[in-house]
């Protein structure tokens, strides 16, 4: 926890990724839950995603950026959504397949980043991702490509909780393409009590887990 607090107090564009890793069922998600709860109370978390089952490229393409946009809209207010619609020239909610047809990094470059930069006084962003090891290989490559684009072009940082699979370690490890941007901490392999209470959520994070079945359209922002 001390290492995370130090990272959070000093985070900048040189080390915008905090990677919490460990063996399966060692308590990573519980630790991430406590981090999220504290930051959520301080309104510091923009968006959170917990991957609860096998996540395919189709699921990721249809849900991830759409939900991120919804959460950022809640966080930054109507000015972001107006800027988004000006960039896209249409409402992303009403246009079926508009986001799903594009790679995540392309969605960021073509839609999200211009809308963010077009918002008066944009705020720094913190996004939490839990359970990346459940993404299929192509989906994992896609999401790391999006993270790479985001940290180079936005005032954004990521808290990632996952098992250190070979595929993830290849990217986030010391010699990986994102390794130089990462501060990492390992969770010891000791038995942990499972948290069963309801977690606080950003507006779309609870529904994101449900979308990991078959999805047809992004979820509309709650009114």
> Domains plus CATH for the chain?
2-189 (3.40.50)
Q: Locate 174 and state its tokens.
A: 């010391």
Q: What is the DSSP letter of 160?
A: E
pLDDT at 215: 34
Average pLDDT over residues 89-115: 66
Q: Locate 28 and state its tokens.
A: 């990573």
Sign of CA dihedral 169, 175, 178, 180: positive
pLDDT at 100: 53
Give the model's confidence band at 172: pLDDT under 50 very low, under 70 low, under 90 confident, else very high. Answer: very high
Average pLDDT over residues 153-158: 90
Question: Which residue stretches of 24-161 are H helix?
Answer: 28-41, 57-76, 78-88, 104-107, 113-117, 137-153
Q: Locate 216 and state its tokens.
A: 């047809």
What is the Cα–Cα distance from 112 to 87, expressed in whole angstroms? 9
pLDDT at 96 over 60: no
Q: For 15-43, how does the pLDDT look when each residue is reduced to its tens digit (9 = 90+)?
A: 999 998 988 776 677 777 777 776 666 66
pLDDT at 94: 44
Q: For 105-149, how does the pLDDT look when each residue is reduced to its tens digit (9 = 90+)?
A: 877 888 788 888 888 877 788 888 988 999 999 889 989 999 999
What is the Cα–Cα distance from 159 to 35, expressed in whole angstroms? 9
């Amino acid at each position: 926890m001390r290492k995370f607090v130090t990272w959070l107090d000093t985070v900048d564009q040189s080390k915008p990724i905090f990677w919490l890793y460990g063996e399966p069922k060692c308590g990573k998600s519980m630790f991430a839950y406590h981090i999220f709860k504290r930051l959520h109370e301080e309104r510091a978390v923009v968006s959170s995603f917990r991957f609860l089952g096998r996540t395919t490229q189709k699921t990721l393409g249809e849900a991830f950026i759409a939900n991120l946009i919804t959460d950022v809209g809640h966080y930054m207010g109507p000015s972001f959504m107006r800027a988004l619609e000006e960039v896209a020239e249409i409402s992303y909610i009403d246009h079926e397949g508009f986001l799903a047809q594009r790679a995540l990094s392309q969605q960021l470059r073509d839609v999200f980043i211009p809308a963010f930069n077009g918002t008066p006084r944009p705020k720094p962003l913190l996004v939490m991702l839990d359970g990346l090891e459940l993404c299929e290989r192509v989906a994992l490559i896609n999401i790391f490509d999006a993270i790479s684009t985001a940290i180079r072009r936005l005032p954004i940082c990521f808290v990632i909780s996952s098992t250190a699979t070979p595929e993830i370690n290849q990217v986030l490890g010391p010699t990986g393409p994102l390794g130089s941007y990462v501060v990492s901490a390992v969770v010891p392999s000791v038995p942990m009590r499972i948290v069963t209470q309801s977690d606080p959520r950003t507006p779309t994070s609870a529904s994101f887990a449900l979308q990991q079945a078959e999805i047809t359209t992004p979820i509309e922002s709650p009114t």
